[in-house]
Amino acid sequence: MWKCSVVVGVVLLLASIPLASQSPTFGVGRPPTPEDFRELATAIAPDGTGLPEGSGTVAAGREVFAAQCARCHGQKAEGDIGPILVGGQGTLRTPKPLKTVGSFWPYATTLWDYINRAMPFDKPGLLKSSEVYAAAAYILNLNGIIGEADVMDAKTLPKIRMPNRDGFVSDPRPDVGPKAKKPN
């Protein structure tokens, strides 16, 4: 019986390895498994590609924020151990620019992506998809970008036009010296 189960195990093991699995020239590696992908954060494109199911309201986000974020970012996202997340709109061309989600970040999708992959700072990956939508909704609402009744999900989040959406230009370097390019 013991021998039999070993044989069955070996057969199952071999069956689980696809034959045409390795790289064509050097014959290394195998197709990625679901376990491999579990280690990776979900990368979110600015057009929303990658956003999962689920949704979050501003009200739900207020609770998520109080429980998971306020400890570092302050009750009203005014900043403490973690950076300030609100305000600063209109300051980017002043001597003291305040770069926040509201004043600087060009895409709302980045907010979902970053909260999901990196927050809370000491427990990244803790929040469920809907909690990430909710936290994003609350921060966007604090910045006056969405209304109290707005709901964030895979459809609504990419459609948000962030205040600084057009605030980025390409790199014109070299920008000093005789070969300097003219800024765009």
In the complex, the residues that contact other proteins under the rule CB under 8 A are: 23-26, 28-33, 36-37, 39-41, 43-47, 49, 81, 92-93, 95, 97, 99, 101, 104-107, 109-110, 113-114, 117-118, 121, 124, 167-177, 179-180, 183
Phi/psi zone of residue 105: left (φ > 0), alpha (ψ -120 to 50 degrees), beta?
beta
Element holding 72 (H helix, E strand): helix 70-73
How far apart are alpha carbons 153 and 133 in whole angstroms?
A: 6
Cβ-based nearer residue to other proteins, 5 or 170: 170
* Shortest Cβ 163–other proteins spacing (Å): 12
Nearest to 85 by CA among 94, 3, 75: 75
Q: At its nearest, how many Å lie between other proteins and the CB of residue 67?
A: 19
Peptide bond into 106 cis (omega under 30): no
Name the packing angle between helices 108-118 and 129-142 (round to 10°).
130
Report the nearest approach of other proteins to the CB of residue 124 (Å): 5
CB nearer to other proteins: give 72 or 151.
Answer: 72
| Minimum separation from the CB atom of position 66 to other proteins (A) | 20
Based on CB atoms, which residue is closest to other proteins, 57 or 103? 103
